[in-house]
Each structure stands twice: as structure tokens, then as C-alpha cells.
A = this chain, B = another copy of it.
Amino acid sequence: MNISVTALHRFCTDALLNAGVDPADAKTTADVLVTTDTWGTFTHGTKALRAYIRRVRCNGLKKCGTPRIVKEGPAFALVDGDSSIAMVSSVFAMRTAIDKARTAGIAFSGLRNNCHYGAAGYYATMAIPENMIGFSMANDIPSVNAPGAKGSVMGSNPFAFAAPAGSEFPVMLDMATSTVAGGKVFAAATLGKPIPPGWLLDAEANPTRDATLFSHAASLTALGGYKGFCIAFMIEVLSAVLTGSAISREVLSWTFSEPSLPTGHGAAFMAINIESFLPIANFKNRMDHLIAEIHSAPKTGAETLFAPGEIEFRHREKALRDGIDLPDDVVMSLRALAEESGLKFPPQ
């Protein structure tokens, strides 16, 4: 289904308002989720809104929470999310990092009492218009295997990085530390599609292509094996151990666990002020130079070698112009949400 960015944003905002969410928070949440859809990252966009709102209605997420700084210094902050919708707490925490980085050069913002925060990339990209480099990461319930283990050992702990460029698109890396994000496996299961080899291991750690086994009887493979496991471990340390959040198996599932309970997710955000190091125009020229080098590399057949995030930013340009082509699993989820909210989807 094709829908305009404005119409999708309005629907999401209305659904949130209908659940009693504070209007400013509803806008922030819709901003994050709709932007994610414009990138074509449909596994982490508006599809998830139904589950978030379910937790809001059951009080696992507060309708009008107040994320606040509980500890801070020149270049750091520890933020308590107050079990607000994770988009609200995460935007607050990233904004805090950006504000502090302006004078300190870099700043780190740890966040506890968070929930599933959607696409890591959104928060990292908040740094771009500030002429900063942005980072974001979060933990989640174990769903990923480690080589040598049977079952899930770490979360798919996502990581994102974003930086501005000059005449080229900005860059963004937004990745799960599993081979693919769990959302891709869920989407395949919903749509009845087989998954490629290499994504999933069954309960005995044998390869499987049966997406329906996930996550109760299968684990995602770690990105590149042991290294991906180690990166996920690092993210667990930064987003959970350091921030006083739930660690690994202590985290509750944002989709399956009792919706009246906070999930306890942690997250971490970082911003680097580019002008602390060199004039922004100089940095942007240097970025364009690096990106041009990627573009001009000899290719095996592919027409373009894309810089990180370039595909997403191209999708966004098209989405803003022509609307978003929502996949069926997203439409199904939004229709169900509309029904539960007394709204129409697509909105009239």
C-alpha cells in the first residue's frame, strides 16, 4: 500500500493520542517511526507502534513519562527514562549528548528504564544537522547465538553511527550485531517466506531456514561469528552494565512479556562536535572525498557501490516525493492498531 509520509505520520500521532500519550511525545514517537519507514527499514518503523501502544494501554510504558538526568558532568549524563515510550527517552538522551558535546567536544549519555527504541540510526542521525557525529546503541533480550553455544547468549544489540557530508548524502550505519535483525526473521515468518541460510540456528545450534522457529526455538547467528558476539557484549556493557539497566536475561521482551511491566532496556548515545577538531567545511570536503572513492571503486557487476546509509537516504528522498510503499506485514499491523484505536487505516 502506498501512503504519503504526512498521512502515515498523522495516523501514528492519532493512535498515540488516542492511547492518552502526551501530544509532544506522540509527535516525537511518530517522527522516529515514520522516518524509519521512509528509509525502507520497515522492520523497525511504524510496524512496531501497535506493540508499543499495547504496553502504554497496560501501563508498562507511561503515557506521560518524564525522562530526566539523574547524574551529569561536563561530557556525560545518566538519564532515567521513567519508562516513557523509548522514542521519547532516547531522543531526550541523544539531545542531552548533543548539547554537552558542543562545549566538551564529545559527550556520552547513558539511558536506563528504557524500552525497545526502534531503529538505532534515528538517534545517531540527530547529530547530522548539528554538524556532529552521532552514535547510538541498545541492549535487548538474548536472541543471538555465540559460536560454541546452544541457544541465545546475547541480544541482537543494535549499533548506529551517522556523520554529515558535503554534496554527498550523509552517512549512516545502523546494524544489529546479529547477521540480520530479528525483525527480518519475524517479517519472513509473517509473510510465509523462507529465510536465507546463515541467519538462524535451531535449539541444537544446527542451521535452519524455518523462520517460524524464532525466537522460542531458534537463535540468530552472530555477525561474522565470534567478533559479532564480542561487539554485542561491548554494547551490553555500555548500554546496560554502565547505566544500571537490566542486563541480558533480566531484560523483558517488549513484544512477549507481560505488558504491564517495564522491560528495563538500556541504551547509550554519543555525539562528537566536529568543529572541535577541524572546520566543518573541511570535514565535509574530506567526507565527500572518501565517499567518492567508494563510488569510483571497480565493481563486479553492481552498478553502484553505496556508501553507508546511502540506500536509506535515497529511499527517503523518494518517500518524501512519492509516498511510502508499505509492505503487507506493516499494513496488517497498522490495520490491527486502527481497529484497536477506533481509527481508520489508511486514514480517510
Instruction: List the B residue with the shortest CB-CB distance to A285.
Output: B241
Please indicate which of the listed interface residues A106, A234, A238 has the most CB atoms of chain B within 10 Å of its own CB.
A106
* Interface membership of A213, Cβ < 8 A: no
**Stretch from A24-32, A225-233, A325-333 at the B interface:** A225-233
CB interface residues, A 296-315, toward B, < 8 Å: 297-302, 305, 307-308
Number of interface residues of A (CB under 8 A): 70
Taking a contact as CB atoms under 8 Å apart, the answer to whether B237 and A150 are in contact is no
Task: Determine chain A's interface SS by DSSP, over half rule.
Answer: mixed
Taking a contact as CB atoms under 8 Å apart, the answer to whether B223 and A148 are in contact is no
* Interface membership of A23, Cβ < 8 A: no
* Interface membership of A163, Cβ < 8 A: yes
Chain B positions within 8 Å of A150 at CB level: 297-300
Q: Given contacts A75-B104, A148-B299, A149-B305, could you give 6 more A-B pairs where the C-beta distance is less than 8 Å?
A: A76-B273, A133-B242, A149-B297, A150-B297, A224-B224, A233-B294
Taking a contact as CB atoms under 8 Å apart, the answer to whether A272 and B308 are in contact is no
Answer whether A151 and B297 are a contact pair too, CB < 8 Å, given A106-B106, A277-B110: yes
* Interface membership of A129, Cβ < 8 A: no
- From the candidates B73, B108, B163, B231, name the one contacting A237 in the complex (CB within 8 A): B163
Answer whether A299 and B74 are a contact pair too, CB < 8 Å, given A223-B227, A231-B173, A233-B173: no
- From the candidates B71, B242, B248, B287, name the one contacting A283 in the complex (CB within 8 A): B242
Answer whether A148 and B302 are a contact pair too, CB < 8 Å, given A163-B237, A227-B175: yes
Taking a contact as CB atoms under 8 Å apart, the answer to whether B71 and A205 are in contact is no
Residues of A within 8 A of B (CB): 71, 73-76, 78, 103-108, 110, 133, 146, 148-151, 153, 161, 163, 171, 173, 175, 179, 204-205, 223-224, 227-231, 233-234, 236-238, 241-244, 247-249, 270, 272-274, 276-278, 283, 286-287, 289-290, 293-294, 297-302, 305, 307-308
Taking a contact as CB atoms under 8 Å apart, the answer to whether B298 and A241 are in contact is no
- Nearest 10 CB-CB pairs, A to B? A76-B105, A148-B302, A75-B75, A224-B224, A75-B104, A230-B308, A150-B298, A173-B230, A106-B108, A223-B224
Taking a contact as CB atoms under 8 Å apart, the answer to whether B74 and A105 are in contact is yes
Instruction: List the B residue with the shortest CB-CB distance to A274.
Output: B242
Q: With the chains together, A270 CA to B238 CA distance in Å?
A: 13
Q: With the chains together, A243 CA to B283 CA distance in Å?
A: 9
